[in-house]
Structure 1
Amino acid sequence: MSGYVCDDLLVQIFERLPPKSVIRFRSLSKYWHSRLLSPEFLHLHRLRCSKNPPKVIIRHIIRGEKHKYYRDIYTLHSGDKLPLDPDSGFVGVPGVEFPYYLYPLWSSVIGSCNGILCLHNNTSITLRNLLVRRKLIVPLHPPLKSSTYGSSLVLGFGFDSITDDYNIVAVANNRGAFIYSLKTDSWSVIPSPSARLSVTYNVETEVSACFFNGILHWVGEGNSTAHESWTNFILTFNLSSHVFGCIRLREYRDIEQITTINGCLAVVSPVYDHFGEESYSWIRVMKEYGNTESWSTHFKLKRVYSRVFQPIINGDILAYCNHKGSKVYNTRTRLKKCLKFGPDCIKVEMDPYVESLELVDKERATTCGKTVYSWTK
C-alpha cells in the first residue's frame, strides 16, 4: 500500500477518517499501528475531530430485573436527531454498556471534552471514551477522599491546549485546591480561590463546571469580596495560567446553571412566584465575554429543568429534567418537542460529545464496554 502512496499522504488521509476507521487501519502493520498511536497523529486527528459538528451523548441508568442492580448505558445521537420510543427505548440506535458502579446513581458526569467523559463517585474519578471503549480510573487525591456528597466540593474537567493536557480541578472546602494532569497522571496543589464562596457539587441535580474557551466556570454563592453582600457570581479557573477569577453578576442574584448558547457564555436564572416556588427560568447570554454590561435575555423556559445546553451553535436548546423527560426548544420558531424515557430509566444525563481517539494511547487505560441493542425488561 505504501509503495504506491507516500506515508505522509496516507497520514493526511487517516487524519480525516472517523475514529473507528483509524482503529481498523492500525492492524495494517506494526509500523502503522505505531504511527497511528503517535502523539503527533493523535494531536492532528483531535484537531480534525474538533471541527466536526458535536453530537449528543445520553447516559441512561436503567433499573435491572427485580431492582437488584442497575445498568449504565450510553447512546450517541446527531444533534438534530433524537429518536426515542418511550416503550422500547431508542429504536435502531445501539448503546454501549459499561460495567456499572456498585451504586451508579451516586456517580455523575462532571464534564465532556474531546470525546472523553469524566465521571465522579465518592471514591474515584473515571475517564471514559465511548468510541474506543477505553476507561481510566483516577484515584482521588487524599485530601479529597474525606469529602462527601453535600460538602462543598467543586469539580471541573477540561483541556489545556497550551500544554496539550487534560485536567481535573477540585476545590474542597477547608482542604485546598488541586489539579490532576492526565499527561503526568498525578495530582498537584494549586492556590485556592481568594473569594469567599460556598459552591456545592450536587450529584442529584448534576451540577458541574462549564468549560468554555479554556476556562472552567462554576456558580459561586457567597461574597466575591469582603465588602460585598451575599450574592451569586461566576467562579472561573484558567487551565493554562492556573489562576482563579470572578465574573460579577450584579443583576441576577440567583443562578442555577452556567452553559453556552450560540457560542457565548450563558446563565440559567430561576424566577419565583409569590409562594416562593420556581415557576420558570430565563436564559441570559453574555455577548462579550468578561463584559458584565453585555448580558442580555435570550430565552424563557416555562418550567424548571435540571440541565440546559445547546448541542450545536445557533441550533435548538435541549433542556432535560432527569428521567421524567426533556424538551427540545427551537429558539427561532419558539416551538418545542417532548422526549420521554422508558419506565425503567431512573436517571438520565446528557452532554455534547465529539468522537475522538482520546485515551487509546494511555497504558493505564483499560478496555471495557459492550454493544447492546435493547435494554428493556
Structure 2
Amino acid sequence: MASKNDGDHIFEDLTIEILSRLPLKSVLRFKCVSKYWYSLIRSCTFINKHLQRHGNNARLLVKHYNYNTAAYAFALFPDETLAGFPLVYYDVDNVQLPHEPRIFGYCDGILCLWDLDRMALWNPATREFTFIPMPQPNVPDNFCTWPNFGFGLDPTTNDYKLVWIRRYFDYEKDYQYASAIISVYYLSTNSWRLFEVDLSWVHYVHLSSCSTCLNGRYHWLTSDRDRTDTQDFCYDAIIYFDFSNEVFGEIPGPQDIPVSKLGNLIIYNDSISMTCFYPHDPEIYVDLWVMKKEGCWTKDLTIGPLVDVERALGFWKNGELFVETRSNSELVLYNPNTKEIKNLEHRGRYLDLELFMYKESLVSFKGENECPKGHNVSSTARVQDFFTSDPTLVIWGDQIAQN
C-alpha cells in the first residue's frame, strides 16, 4: 500500500501533467484557486514542462509598421495556418510604437526590446515588462558605434543572459579600434559585467532578421569587407558567443557563395543555416545552406523563381519561405511545393519587418521566489511608455560594471 507521502507525490505529478496541457490563459486563471496551485504553477518544473509540451506550438509573431496609425505594432497569428485576422496577446492589441524599435533577442517567450537609449524585457503572454539598466562606457564624442546583440539561456546556470557588442570607430581619424567593449547582462541578478575583447579578426557583422541562438550560443554572420575587386568569392564566417563560458568563437561559413549574393543567418530544422540570393535579378532564386555539423555546410535546396523580392526572412513549419516584397515591403509566404503565394497583409518600411516563432511562456522576470529583478510592471501602458517617454533607468560608466 502506498504511503500518504507517495499519494501526495502522485497527486502532484498528475496535477502538473493535467495543467501543463492547458492553454496558458487557462493556467493563469488557475493560479487563483489556492496557494498550493499558485506555488505549483510558479515552480520551475511546471514552467519548463508547460513550455515544452507538445500542444504549445510556436506561432508567428510579426513586428510591422501600421501605415494607418503611422506607428509600429506587434501582431500574433492565432494558429499555424496563418489564417484569420492576427491578434496580440490578451489586452495588448493596441500596442503602437511610434519610434523604430528593434527586437534584438527572443528566448522562451521573452522578447528583448531596444530603442537607442533604453532596453526592456517583455513577456506578452504574462504581460510582464521590465526595464534593463543600460551600461554606457565613457568614450570620446567623436567615437561612433553600431551595436550587435544576442539573448539566450545559459544551459549550465539556467540564467537568461544578454550580450552587447560595441566596436568603436573614430570617424575623425577614419580608424576602427580592434578592441570591442562587451557587456553581459544577467537576469537573475539584474547586473552587468563589462570587459574588452580583441575582435580585430572579425570583419563586418550582420544583424540577423530573427533569433539565432542555438544550444547556448548566439550566432552572427560576418563578411570580409576588405576583399579586393579580383576576388571571385566572399569569405563569410559565423562568430558566436558562448553563454556558459562567455567567450567568442568562429565557425567557417559556406565557401562557394559569390560576392554579389546577400546572406541572412537563420535557424532551420534546429540547425544554423543561411539563405542567400542575388538581390538585383528580375527573378530571384533563394539558396538554403545548412550547417549539418560545425563547419560543414550543405546547400539543401533552391527556391524560385520569385519576383518582387527584397529579402528572404526565414522559413515556416512546412518549408514555406517568408519574403519581404521589394515594391511595398509586404510580408509574403511562398510555398515551394504548390507555388502558392499568400500575402499576410503586413508591411514594414526600411527593411524592418521582424519575424519570430513565438511560444507562450510562464517564464517570469521575478524568479521562482518572486524576488523582484529590476523594474517589473504588468501594464500595457508601460510597454507603450517604453517607446514614448524619456528613459528612467540609465546607469553610466563603471557604476554598473562588476568584475
| TM above 0.5 | yes
Give the drift of 1:44: 3.2
Q: Does structure 2 retain, via aligned residues, the 8 Å contact 1:193–1:244? A: no
* 1:1-377 alignment, distance < 5 Å: 6-48=11-53, 52-63=56-67, 70=71, 72-83=73-84, 90=86, 96-97=92-93, 100=96, 103-105=98-100, 107-143=101-137, 151-174=145-168, 175-189=180-194, 192=197, 194=199, 195-199=201-205, 201=207, 207=209, 210-222=212-224, 231-249=235-253, 250-252=255-257, 253=259, 254-271=261-278, 280-300=284-304, 302=306, 303-312=308-317, 314-321=318-325, 324-341=329-346, 348-359=353-364, 361-362=366-367, 363=372, 364-369=375-380
Indicate the residue corresponding to 2:387 in structure 1.
none
**Partner deviation per Cα, 1:59-117 (whole Å, 9 max, x = no partner):** 3443566x6xx363432332322435xxxxx599977246555x422x11122221111
Tell me the SS of whatever aligns to 2:197: coil
Q: Does structure 2 retain, via aligned residues, the 8 Å contact 1:79–1:311? A: no
The CA distance in 1 between the partners of 2:131 and 2:165, in whole Å, is 19
The CA distance in 1 between the partners of 2:30 and 2:87, in whole Å, is 30
2:340 alignment partner AA: L
Q: Does structure 2 retain, via aligned residues, the 8 Å contact 1:210–1:216? A: yes
2:376 alignment partner AA: A
Give the drift of 1:306: 4.1
Q: Does structure 2 retain, via aligned residues, the 8 Å contact 1:281–1:301? A: yes
The CA distance in 2 between the partners of 1:76 and 1:127, in whole Å, is 21
Q: Structure 1: any 5+ residue segments left out of the alignment?
A: 85-89, 371-377
Give the drift of 1:160: 2.4
Indicate the residue corresponding to 1:375 in structure 2.
none
Alpha-carbon distance change, 349 to 28 in structure 1, aligned in 2, over 3 angstroms: same
The CA distance in 2 between the partners of 1:284 and 1:164, in whole Å, is 32
**Partner deviation per Cα, 1:150-189 (whole Å, 9 max, x = no partner):** 8331111222233212221111004411211112211113
Q: Does structure 2 retain, via aligned residues, the 8 Å contact 1:147–1:172? A: no
TM-score, normalising length: structure 1 = 0.76
Indicate the residue corresponding to 1:374 in structure 2.
none
Q: Does structure 2 retain, via aligned residues, the 8 Å contact 1:237–1:244? A: yes
Aligned residues: 345
Alpha-carbon distance change, 287 to 342 in structure 1, aligned in 2, over 3 angstroms: closer
Alpha-carbon distance change, 272 to 319 in structure 1, aligned in 2, over 3 angstroms: closer
**Partner deviation per Cα, 1:118-147 (whole Å, 9 max, x = no partner):** 121101222111111111111222229999
1:96 alignment partner AA: V
Give the drift of 1:311: 3.4
Alpha-carbon distance change, 73 to 272 in structure 1, aligned in 2, over 3 angstroms: closer
Q: Does structure 2 retain, via aligned residues, the 8 Å contact 1:97–1:369? A: no
